[in-house]
């Protein structure tokens, strides 16, 4: 059963900046990233517990084509996306987002 997904403002900002960066690399690539993010968010909404926990209740879903991960928190009434985060960035930068 699918549940609602909400992106925190910082996650929305990260996604927007990442889309802009990819769009500058090649026209249309930013939209391709967004399409993949949307597909992964749909998978998360349908089965959030299928994804590996990385810090306490926070779970992570990897994108397949782009080197990004979606860090999210499953809650009773939906999913809260904490970050759209490059997999090579220091994960300590995610501290305090829960």
**Average pLDDT for residues 23-31, to the nearest whole number?**
96
State the pLDDT confidence band at 90, using cuts at 50, 70 and 90.
low
Buried b (16+ CB within 10 A) or exposed e, 23-54: beeeeeebeebbeebeebbeebbeebeebeee
Q: How many domains does the chain have?
A: 1
CATH number for the domain spanning 14: value is 3.30.2310.20
pLDDT of the residue at 89: 77
Q: Which residues, in sequence order, are CB contacts of 53 under 8 Å at separation 6+?
A: 59, 60
**Residue among 3, 22, 20 nearest 65 (CA):** 22
Residue range of the domain that includes 54: 5-94
Burial class (CB in 10 A: 0-12, 13-18, 19+), 71: buried
pTM of the complete model: 0.90
pLDDT of 40-85, one tens digit each? 999 999 999 999 999 889 999 999 999 999 999 999 899 999 999 8
């Amino acid at each position: 059963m699918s549940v609602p997904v909400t992106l925190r403002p910082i996650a929305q900002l990260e996604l927007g900046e990442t889309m802009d960066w990819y769009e500058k690399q090649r026209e249309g690539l930013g939209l391709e990233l967004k399409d993949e993010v949307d597909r992964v968010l749909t998978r998360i909404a349908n089965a959030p517990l299928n994804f590996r926990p990385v810090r306490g209740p926070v779970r992570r879903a990897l994108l397949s084509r782009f080197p990004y991960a979606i860090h999210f928190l499953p809650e009773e009434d939906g999913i809260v996306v904490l970050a759209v985060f490059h997999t090579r960035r220091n994960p300590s930068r995610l501290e305090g987002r829960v």
